Amino acid sequence: MSPRSFEQEWREKVKKVRSSKFWKQVSSPPSGRIETGDTRKRKNEIEIDADWSLLCEGDLSIDGPATIGIQDLRGILSSRFGVRLKSKAVKDAPKITFELRPSRDTTRWDCDFRLHVSTSGVIVRGASEQALLRASLYLSNYWSLRRGLYLTKGRRTIRPAIPFHVGADLWGGFCTTPAWVYGRESDANFLELARMGINAVPIMAVLDDYLNPDPKGPFRSLANPQAKRNRKRLSTLAKQASRFGIHILLMGYNPKLEPDHPVFKRLPGAAGALQSGGVFRTLCSSDKETRKYLVGEWASLFREIPDLGGVIAITGGEGFYHCFMRSKDSEHACPRCSRRNPSKVVAELVNHIARGIRSEVPEARLLTWPYSAGHWSGDRDQVDYISYLDPEHVIFQTEIDKDSVHWREAGYAKDIWDYSISHTSISDRCRHQRRLCKTRNLKFSVKTESNNSIECLNVPYLPVLENQKGLWRNAKSLKPFSIHSRWLFDGSCKGPSEEMGYWMIWGNGTEFEDPDDTLTAIAQRDFGDKAAPIVRRAWRLFSEGMRHHPQLDYYRGTYFIGPAQPLVLEPNARANNLDPAFFGQFYWHWENSVTGDDTILVTGQPLFFSSPNFRAFKRRGLDRNRDVALEELREMAELWERGVKELEKARQHVPPSCRTRFKREFILCQHLAYTWRSGANVEEFLRLRDIIREFSGRSWVRSGHERENVRDLHRMEIIAREELSIAKKDFTLVRNTDFLDLGLRLDMGTASTPEILKAKIDQVTNLLKHELPAWRQELLRW
């Protein structure tokens, strides 16, 4: 297909996303009157009402962060509490005053502010407009969760426990491709990210897109004719986001060039190792001239666009390309880098670029993230790499749970090779790296997933709040300088886990310091006082259920299309004559191709399992050496179904003002219950299919296993009927629910969820009517 094909598809997809109800919802401030319930003013508290005024003092910019925050606060009080504060002071009447008191030492990242609360008024004092913006959001968040406009008297400083909070863009915003989300640079909804406590958002940044013309230089063949336009668009985005307290981090991608690119003929020293099986070649950072060029180009972006927040350099297995990342083999290794210590080479590049961007913008940050670096460093914990990093300019980031093994009560170990929400403890690797960073005085950042995980990437958030509570607690216990709470496949939907995370960071000294109390308050506000304890029981069952999920996988099967998986009789996924709806484009696979080659972006891959996928080999306890994966899947499904029944009990207690929110939660949870039950069914179906195939190939074997084969085929028919029923129910459930529509995801190219479910219904109907009866007849012939 032509390069234009993906561009057309992308524009259409972005248009659909930005016209969806869910995009509009996540882009808008919280709305709807809050039920006060049993909330009361406590001793030593004041209450704000319509007699109060809201004022500001200081030299505030007309459309800057402070003004935006104060206007938002006024709107929240009016829409959610029915309290319209006066815009002018009234004699002897109380007032809220936002005071800007600049400090010479304040940076763009400083969010501390002072509160002075008395019966005569509330004074909010900040050293920057950013701080006053954070103060306004803090107050509206606090009052919304408290369900009353109360504040405790006295003076105090409000300071986040973790000063630097990185998180993915809003759902429907920038995602895992370098494709630009048209219109994003002029959006006014960045405030919603700040409302969740975020102050930095990463976007994919392919350096090739921004390489300026260099007519006389040795790298002139790398110049991008659209660089000026691209830089201007990036500048517009950075400036617009910063108005709302959000700074753009460039998820840095160094050039991926054709192996015989002209630059390598002109400057042989620039030729780095072949990557991705020989598909492309990197620029070699051990060559001083090449390294200087890379540093200069990254730094030039910050010189031209000072509103940028910094760079995230994934130096492990993707993104920030260097000669060791995905080298083809030792024979094709870089002749310069292969003679050097890999960790030293990569740290050298990172340190130079960090110094380069900070020489242009001293407040800029560079986070180095050695995600999956073990394959080139040979060191699980990156001890050498950490030892070479520059503590003055670099922040080290690692995952809280990755590259660890979690032993389960059922006697098997789950390999945590990526983000898991069924495993919530801190890995030994993470703890060791934290100690190393502390010893070197190297700033530390912890990476988590606050909304969903690899176990289930098809929903905006997983309602497993007990598990997420554990992750937030553990992340905070590491006392990091920074937390990166969501990767780009997981856009912010402003869900309960994000809100809980906000209070883990901002809640010190409040009644929401304990996340358990926060969850209760969220449930009471969103579902009503009587329904809240029942909803929390459901969340506990969902959390327990997820702890039985046996294995991780990516973007297929139960993990992605949920109950829409077809039931196939051929192990070869492409030999089943299936509807195209069961195939999708894995946009994130662009990692493995030359920059500018969009073939992978328009190539369909199976979204389903055509062979058994789950395996959980029991190695501890009684009855060892057997696979318990199917038992675990069934246990998970049963616990989830029990949780949905609890939600059904809660429904009658939900007040009218909370019913829309409850409906959304119920649809999500029921969809996931169907997902897990279907996952167990499909796994059993495929296992039975393979057993029958094994004992029916030769006629004499088939005749000897006639009874057993027919019995297992009958069980497959029962499963197929159950799967048909689940698919029909789920189709009815989600057909008008855009937040569960896979077709609106920006990290994948797929049909809509209803279209995939409809294809499943048709496929299983045909299976029951034609394919299984035909196979039965075949099994009875020899």
For residue 39, pLDDT over 90 is answered with no
Q: In Å, how far are 139, 196, 477, 649 from 246, measured between CA atoms?
A: 19, 11, 25, 41
For residue 759, pLDDT over 90 is answered with yes
481 found inside a domain: yes
pLDDT digits (tens, 9 = 90+) for 174-221: 999 889 999 999 999 999 999 999 999 999 999 999 998 877 789 999
Q: In Å, how far are 399, 544, 637, 638, 679 from 550, measured between CA atoms?
A: 20, 13, 12, 15, 12
Could you tell me if 225 and 114 lie in one domain? no
For residue 706, pLDDT over 60 is answered with yes
Contacts of 12 (CB under 8 A, 6+ apart): none
| Average pLDDT estimate for 561-567 | 98
pLDDT digits (tens, 9 = 90+) for 254-310: 999 999 999 999 999 999 999 988 899 999 999 999 999 999 999 999 999 999 999
Could you tell me if 357 and 488 lie in one domain? yes
Which two tokens mark 369?
A: 């993230």
| Average pLDDT estimate for 19-48 | 93
486 found inside a domain: yes
14 found inside a domain: no
- The pLDDT assigned to 3 comes to 45
Could you tell me if 238 and 113 lie in one domain? no
pLDDT band, residue 331 (cuts 50/70/90): low
406 found inside a domain: yes
For residue 602, pLDDT over 90 is answered with no
- The pLDDT assigned to 1 comes to 35
- The pLDDT assigned to 213 comes to 84
Where residue 53 falls (left for φ over 0; alpha for ψ -120 to 50; beta otherwise) is: beta
Which of 140, 158, 176 delimits the end of a domain? 158
Cα dihedral 572, 573, 574, 577, rounded to 10, equals 110
HSE of 6 in the Cβ direction (CA atoms, 13 Å)? 24
- The pLDDT assigned to 554 comes to 86
Could you tell me if 561 and 505 lie in one domain? no
- The pLDDT assigned to 214 comes to 79
pLDDT digits (tens, 9 = 90+) for 372-393: 998 898 899 999 999 999 999 9
Which of 158, 185, 201 delimits the end of a domain? 158
Could you tell me if 359 and 246 lie in one domain? yes
Q: Which CATH number do you get for residue 390?
A: 3.20.20.80
Domain extent for 339: 164-514
| Average pLDDT estimate for 541-567 | 96
pLDDT band, residue 330 (cuts 50/70/90): low
Could you tell me if 207 and 259 lie in one domain? yes
How many CB atoms sit inside 10 A of residue 268's CB? Answer: 11
Rounded CA gap, 128 and 33, in Å? 31
Could you tell me if 375 and 495 lie in one domain? yes
Could you tell me if 190 and 49 lie in one domain? no
- The pLDDT assigned to 5 comes to 77
Rounded CA gap, 561 and 557, in Å? 6
Query: Under a CB-based contact definition with an 8 Å cutoff, are residues 448 and 505 in contact?
Result: no
562 found inside a domain: yes
Query: Under a CB-based contact definition with an 8 Å cutoff, are residues 749 and 601 in contact?
Result: yes
For residue 147, pLDDT over 60 is answered with yes
pLDDT digits (tens, 9 = 90+) for 91-103: 999 999 999 999 9
Q: Write b or e for each residue in 581-601: b if 16 or more Cβ atoms lie within 10 A of its Cβ, otherwise e.
A: bbbbbbbbebbbbbbeebebb
pLDDT above 70 covers what percent of the chain?
99
**DSSP alpha helix (H) spans, 82-161:** 129-146
Could you tell me if 667 and 596 lie in one domain? yes
Q: Which CATH number do you get for residue 69?
A: 3.30.379.10
Q: Domains in the chain: how many in total?
A: 3
| Average pLDDT estimate for 78-107 | 95
- The pLDDT assigned to 375 comes to 83
pLDDT band, residue 689 (cuts 50/70/90): very high
More confident residue, 296 or 595: 296
pLDDT band, residue 243 (cuts 50/70/90): very high
3-state secondary structure of 248: strand
More confident residue, 430 or 458: 430
84 found inside a domain: yes
Could you tell me if 557 and 503 lie in one domain? no
387 found inside a domain: yes
User: Tell me, what amino acid is at 666?
Assistant: F
Which of 158, 181, 210 delimits the end of a domain? 158
Query: Under a CB-based contact definition with an 8 Å cutoff, are residues 324 and 367 in contact?
Result: no
- The pLDDT assigned to 40 comes to 87
Could you tell me if 499 and 561 lie in one domain? no
Evaluate the CA torsion angle 22, 24, 30, 32 in order and state its sign.
Answer: negative
| Average pLDDT estimate for 483-509 | 96
For residue 530, pLDDT over 50 is answered with yes
For residue 344, pLDDT over 80 is answered with yes
Cα dihedral 557, 560, 562, 568, rounded to 10, equals -20
Rounded CA gap, 449 and 431, in Å? 18
Could you tell me if 86 and 234 lie in one domain? no
644 found inside a domain: no
pLDDT digits (tens, 9 = 90+) for 435-450: 999 999 999 999 999 9
| Average pLDDT estimate for 686-709 | 97
